[in-house]
A and B are shown apart, each in its own frame.
Chain A
Amino acid sequence: MSDWEPKIAAFLCNWCSYGAADLAGVSRMEYPPNIRVIRIPCTGRMDPKFFLAALREGADGVWVSG
């Protein structure tokens, strides 16, 4: 299990964190490759079922960011 890396589903708000992620990208910053970004139109779109569905499909963690 030593080479295990967590899989994290990241639900990012289009206007906030997704923008930040974009900026981090164009600024060529380095960050851990464990997140799988899912863009949502607004954090208000977040739903408990997304969280449960992500875990069910094998994510180890879920990160919601507005």
Chain B
Amino acid sequence: MLSYAEKIREIAGRLLASGAVNMVIGFRQGTIPMMNEPHFAKNPAEAAKLVWDSHCGINLANYLTDRKEKIGIVAKGCDSRNIVTHIIENKIKREQLVVIGVPCQGMVDKRKIALKCPGEITAVIETETQVTATGNGFSQSFDKKDVLQHNCSLCIHRNPVIHDELVAAPVEEQKGIDRYADVRAVEAMSPEQRWKYFEDLLSPCVRCYACRNACPLCYCPTCFVDESRPQWVGKGQDPSDVRTFHFLRAYHCAGRCTDCGSCERSCPVGINMRVFTKKLEKDCLDLFGWEAGLSLDVRPPLDVYRPSDPNDFIK
């Protein structure tokens, strides 16, 4: 996985030098450890800054919306599924893209590591299977698989679904994973318990909308939270407004969310809002056998009618 970076730089350099693309979107080293930032390389020299490690959790499909130029994009499994969703929703054309596929082994969760370290982490070194965090007076190693992002540990589409180049041989997909244990736990609750559970879950929310901004699905020119006439959701911290925001955001992702984890990763207070999107993901899978972003040829379930629709009323 660490050898990917060199290969990515090589491919990006080649694409930019030949003029096949105007820009390559990838990652560069962030200013603080475990926080890689998006990098937009517009010439071969800039392509040398591209990196790849276990901290590339941001979903780069987010940067494709309505772009007009030719773009090379580095894509993990989830990114590639969101690129497919973007193409299906006419937000970018397939011909504009050169997808540099990266078989992914999961991204590490910086919170899990920070929680286990006694102080501020100033440097992180990683090998194929381990990450070592060092700071003032401590140095701790973790097995990557113990500190993966929750969505990565449940991921069953690690390899890119579309790609023009591949930086390495596909990795083995995880099998026999119970992806929805947490959703079932919430489903089993009574309305009162659920009310309490969501209250606790959402109480730290400061309504910064980082989850919305990090999400590749949230590209509306005017988001419903910014509409003021009518105002669907108040601006303050009122619990009913916070709830309305989270519920509606999740509904807007129904049948489109790929559980890439960008929302949770970007949340400054660590709310697991993925329980909402995952519930809808599970419903889509149960009702329509649908998983978002797997194919360019199939329309999503919420915009087609099939005679085999599972609901009786519509027949």
Contacts and interface: CB of A to CB of B under 8 A. Distances in A.
Do A and B belong to a common assembly?
A: yes
A61 B86 CA distance: 36
Interface in A27-55: 48-49, 52-53, 55
A52 B241 CA distance: 9
Interface in B225-246: 230, 232-233, 240-241, 243-244
A55 B230 CA distance: 15
B195 interface: no
Interface of B: 224, 230, 232-233, 240-241, 243-244, 247-248, 251
A48 B246 CA distance: 12
B224 to A, nearest CB: 6
Interface of A: 48-49, 52-53, 55-56
A48 B233 CA distance: 12
Contacts of B241: 56
B83 to A, nearest CB: 27
A52 B251 CA distance: 12
A48 B247 contact: yes
Contacts of B243: 52
Contacts of A53: 230, 232-233, 244
Nearest to A57: B240
Contacts of B247: 48, 52
Nearest to A49: B232
Contact of B251 (A48, A55, A56): A48
Given A48-B248, A52-B233, A56-B244, 9 more contacts: A48-B247, A49-B224, A49-B232, A49-B244, A53-B230, A53-B232, A53-B233, A55-B240, A56-B240
A55 B224 CA distance: 17
Nearest to A48: B251
Contacts of A49: 224, 232-233, 244, 248
A54 to B, nearest CB: 11
